[in-house]
Structure 1
Amino acid sequence: MGKLDIITVVIIAANVLISYKGFNDFSFFEKYKFNVGGLKRGERIRLFSAGFLHVDMQHLLFNMVTLYFFSGLVILKLGSIGFLTVYIGSLLVGNFLSYYFHKDEYHYSAVGASGAVMGIIYSAILFEPMMKINFFIPGFAFGIGYLLYSIYGMKKRIGNIGHDAHFGGAVGGYLFTLLLSPSLFQTSLLFVLLLAIPIVILFVLQKMGKI
């Protein structure tokens, strides 16, 4: 963790430049943020562009610092192209899930790289499930706990947080990592199954109409 690869630099630079533009240009921010109404009008670029906009500097800094700490491991395991695939795939899956849960809320909006970053975190955890997060929490436990909290947050609408995008990003990180590194089914099958638990729970709750 913490290795600053060129692809990480490019992604961080893109987030900083586009977010800074959004901080100072309201019309630009409004044009490219995730917005259900805009998507219903066919503005699909929002599914991608929203992942490079942030509400403020604190929001941007938190996401980019987190990305920095987890990107090195994923790049080491999957290479730069694989890392980029997981990042972009997670960003899109996160926003697709947001759209699915908010498609009837015409004015619903969101921004941020959190879905993409959560996908990278979940990918890193698949490769190193016993990594310590916050110095003592095993990675797999953090991953499961965070997604269970995200389900609760989605159900209760806790805070001004895109819990569904975070959850969708983790799902994207999980799926794309396993597609790119299927050997994990042999080397870490137990953790692959454990990390799938929150995803199955969300699917079941959605089918039951509980969320």
Structure 2
Amino acid sequence: MYNIDIATIAIIAANVLVSMKGFSDTTFFERYKFSIGAIKAGQKERMATSGFLHVDISHLLFNMLTLYFFADVVIAWLGVTQFIIVYLVSLFGGSLLALYFHKDEPYYSAVGASGAVMGIVYSVVLLQPFSPFYGFIPAFVFGIGYLLYSIYGMKKRLGNIGHTAHFGGAIGGYVCTLIFMPSLLQTDTLMVGLLALPIVLLLVLEKMGKI
């Protein structure tokens, strides 16, 4: 039987409880979702609360299942406290990047744990770069490919997806993992560099005004 840590259960429970409240209470949902206009007006707590709200059951289920399958890897490598820190830093990283890129769009809004979950996923990619994703794709190929797709999605505004939050979350997971395991800079220098390439590309494109 899969041995799920109490920390993972707690995070999933928090997401389920807050999301269920949002499903049944529109006023609650609107008050705590990520909203550029409201955040700039002073409601900074939305940068955290939005990460526990979801649009619908399928949105919630996808994020929580992804967390369920990857959380134990981060806990095994870094420990429970560090796992929680990675999750929360990634959540805020996603919100901060979304705030930066959409700061001039007062009506931009978003919800979901995707940024936080993506941070956990990217941490796993960094810790186990050759582990198979979807049965055959090396983790590092998936990680780099997904972030490149996120850059494309940010540029083209593809779908009703928070590409900036995903990318910001991945940055959070990447940075936290290196802080907690700096030895990776020596033992896996090439992989650390490869996984940084999409992040550097985003910074360059933003500096050039291409995104």
Tell me which interval the TM-score lies in, with the shorter structure as reference length: over 0.9
Alignment map for 1:1-211 (pairs within 5 Å): 3-211=3-211
| Residue correspondences, number | 210
* Identity between Structure 1 and Structure 2 (%): 63
Following TM superposition, by how much is the alpha carbon of 1:189 offset from its aligned partner in structure 2, in angstroms? 1.2
1:39-59 per-residue CA deviation (whole Å, 9 max, x = no partner) reads 011100000000000000000
Following TM superposition, by how much is the alpha carbon of 1:3 offset from its aligned partner in structure 2, in angstroms? 4.0
Task: Give unpaired runs (5+ residues) of structure 1.
Answer: none
The 3-state SS of whatever aligns with 1:105 is coil
Amino acid at match of 1:162: G
Following TM superposition, by how much is the alpha carbon of 1:144 offset from its aligned partner in structure 2, in angstroms? 0.1
Give yes or no for contact 1:3–1:71 (8 Å, CA) kept in 2.
no
Amino acid at match of 1:111: V
Runs of 4+ in 1 over 4 A off after TM superposition: none
Following TM superposition, by how much is the alpha carbon of 1:187 offset from its aligned partner in structure 2, in angstroms? 1.7
- Distance in 2 separating the partners of 1:199 and 1:12: 28
> TM-score w.r.t. structure 1 length?
0.98
Amino acid at match of 2:8: T
- Distance in 1 separating the partners of 2:21 and 2:158: 29
The 3-state SS of whatever aligns with 1:158 is coil
- Distance in 2 separating the partners of 1:67 and 1:27: 28
- Distance in 1 separating the partners of 2:67 and 2:187: 25
Task: Give unpaired runs (5+ residues) of structure 2.
Answer: none
Following TM superposition, by how much is the alpha carbon of 1:196 offset from its aligned partner in structure 2, in angstroms? 0.2
- Distance in 1 separating the partners of 2:178 and 2:24: 39
CA RMSD of aligned residues (A): 0.7
> TM-score w.r.t. structure 2 length?
0.98
- Distance in 2 separating the partners of 1:207 and 1:146: 21
